Amino acid sequence: MDHLPERLDLIATAEAGRVLRGRIPVAGLQRVLPSLVSDEGELQVELHLGKDLDGTCFLAGAIQGEIVLRCQRCMEGMTLPLELEFRLGLLRDESAMGKLSDCYEPLVVTAEPAYIADIVSDEVLLALPIVPLHKGSDECNASIKAYKPPQDEQRDNPFAVLAELKHKQ
Distance CA 89, CA 33 (A): 27
Q: What is the pLDDT of residues 96-148, one digit of tens each?
A: 788 888 899 999 998 899 999 999 999 999 999 999 988 876 767 665 566 66
Tell me: pLDDT of 149 over 70.
no
Note the pTM of the prediction, 2 decimals.
0.78
Number of neighbours of residue 69 by Cβ within 10 angstroms: 17
Q: Find the angle CA(42)-CA(135)-CA(72) to the nearest 5 degrees.
A: 80
- DSSP letter for 28, please: G
pLDDT score, position 52 = 92
Which pLDDT does position 7 carry in this prediction? Answer: 94
Which residues are bridge partners to 7 per DSSP? Answer: 115
Strand 57-70: give its sheet, edge to edge.
18-25, 42-51, 57-70, 77-91, 105-108
Name the E strands within 92-127.
Answer: 105-108, 114-115
The pLDDT score that the predictor gives to residue 6 is 93
Higher pLDDT, 14 or 165: 14
Confidence at residue 74, expressed as pLDDT on a 0 to 100 scale: 86
β-bridge mates for residue 13, sequence order: none
The C-alpha angle 77, 138, 67, rounded to 5 degrees, equals 25
User: In this predicted model, what pLDDT tens digit does every residue of 60-95 receive, in sequence order?
Assistant: 999 999 999 999 888 889 999 999 999 999 998 887
How far is Cα 61 from Cα 90, in angstroms, rounded to an integer? 13
How much is the pLDDT for 166? 77
pLDDT in tens, 23-57: 999 999 999 999 999 999 999 999 999 999 988 99
Amino acid 80: pLDDT: 93
